[in-house]
A and B are shown apart, each in its own frame.
Chain A
């Protein structure tokens, strides 16, 4: 059975999560993709204020499809995370994010920053956009509206299904999972 966890996470709760655990996440998360990451990091580099408070927050690498009338959001699955690898260490260290949700493995630099700051990386199921849309209870644009699907949105999620892919000790399911099944 998946473990239910709620945001904001406390560090003890995060430390207990282990790579391979299936979880259901409830609370508020922020979407951001490539360009939003670049803009946030440029603000950090120039010591300017961020347009949102990211301390103890979770960033979801996602650009949902538009909401049809009567719906909160369109399909809302994850995008591939490696494109954010150059920016994530800065957001962990300087902006205080404690979690990321995406798909695919992360760089050594990201994992090192996660270990140092007790952050966790969750894998959401890529290509399950309709299923995830059902778990989103509200959505609003916070900033960078000009980016369209890539704007930063605040999503209220309930029982959002994910897997702990890289835990706060650096254990990486993208390595240990396939190693269990490889035949060559």
Chain B
């Protein structure tokens, strides 16, 4: 059993918060460049160019890519042969996030209570940690800071099983096009299919952690991703919802088995500033 020091995790998380906020990942920068080649709207092109310029300024001058440095959403892949010594993983992630958001001058965007007071906690906690078990003795943490604008446009539906592929496609396309400018398009569309009500939503979020534009390993689902992307990009919504050919950069589906009576679907949208950063300890 490999021991991982609590403080090591805290420090790694702090560094992750800064990296995610300032450095647009290469895969996202690449899809923006690819879209520039196909975008027909002059204003759309101008906006895509400003996204690239913004990413350069953010990286070089250490200014957050977006002022909404998000809720801190972590995917923690925990090897079964390792454990944290000196405290819980969740506590370490929370402590590292609070330090990162303070020391990196990132915006604290979390409130204590959702209804009453809505007082800002001042350190961007609580954090959201999804734990996944993996083989081996490595702890891999991926942070995807999640902005409010795109999160607010996300939806779930409990479809009838026989609505099948077309039912899912229609629901996803409708969700994306109706959200218009609000989620800061072009978006990355995370789709969770199967499981149950809440697991479909988790899968939709997990889909956003995939390398941008990488297709689903099952060719049937890769084809569905392609169909949805094509339909979404025919909507005309375009960059910032002001018209154009690029409404989404990519569609990622994650799926799992489900009850005979159900076909749960969830759509979780990510803005064009699809920030994510990983560390393996």
Contact = CB atoms under 8 A, between A and B. Distances in A.
Contacts of A177: 41, 43, 236, 238, 241-244
A80 B108 contact: no
B143 interface: no
A91 B219 CA distance: 53
A181 B41 contact: yes
Nearest to A134: B57
Contact of B243 (A22, A133, A161, A176): A176
Contacts of B62: 68
Given A75-B64, A177-B238, A182-B235, A80 B107 contact: no
Contacts of B241: 103-105, 174, 177-178
A104 B240 CA distance: 8
A96 interface: no
A129 B53 CA distance: 11
A173 B242 CA distance: 6
B236 A181 contact: yes
A79 B271 CA distance: 12
A130 B58 contact: yes
A122 to B, nearest CB: 12
A89 interface: no
B109 interface: yes
From B40, B46, B231, residue with most partner A Cβ within 10 Å? B46
From A67, A74, A82, A128, residue with most partner B Cβ within 10 Å? A128
Interface in A53-86: 62-68, 71, 74-77, 79-80, 82
Contacts of A181: 40-41, 236, 238, 243-245
Interface string A139-159: 000000001110000000000
Contacts of B108: 148-149
On chain A, which size bracket covers the interface?
A: 35 or more
Contacts of A184: 231, 234-235
B106 interface: yes
Contacts of A180: 41, 236, 243
Interface string B179-211: 011101000000000000000000000000000
A65 B69 contact: yes
Given A163-B242, A173-B242, A174-B180, A131 B57 contact: yes
B117 to A, nearest CB: 11
B4 interface: no
Contact of B46 (A22, A131, A173): A22
Contacts of A173: 242-243
Nearest to B120: A148
Given A125-B50, A126-B240, A178-B243, A64 B235 contact: no
B259 interface: no
B243 A179 contact: yes
A42 to B, nearest CB: 16
Contact of B54 (A123, A129, A165, A176): A129
Nearest to B273: A127
Contacts of A170: none
Contacts of A174: 180-181, 241-242
Given A128-B51, A129-B64, A178-B235, A123 B182 contact: no
B243 to A, nearest CB: 3
Given A65-B69, A74-B105, 13 more contacts: A22-B43, A65-B106, A75-B65, A75-B69, A126-B271, A127-B273, A128-B53, A147-B120, A148-B108, A149-B120, A178-B241, A181-B245, A184-B234
Interface of A: 20, 22, 35, 62-68, 71, 74-77, 79-80, 82, 103-105, 123, 125-131, 133-134, 147-149, 161, 163, 165, 173-174, 176-184
30 contacts: A64-B107, A65-B67, A65-B106, A66-B106, A68-B63, A74-B64, A74-B107, A76-B67, A80-B149, A80-B152, A80-B181, A82-B182, A103-B182, A103-B184, A104-B180, A125-B54, A126-B149, A127-B273, A149-B120, A173-B242, A173-B243, A174-B180, A177-B43, A178-B235, A178-B238, A178-B242, A181-B236, A182-B235, A183-B234, A183-B235
Interface of B: 40-41, 43, 46-47, 50-51, 53-55, 57-58, 61-69, 105-109, 118, 120, 122, 147-149, 152, 180-182, 184, 231, 234-238, 240-245, 271-273
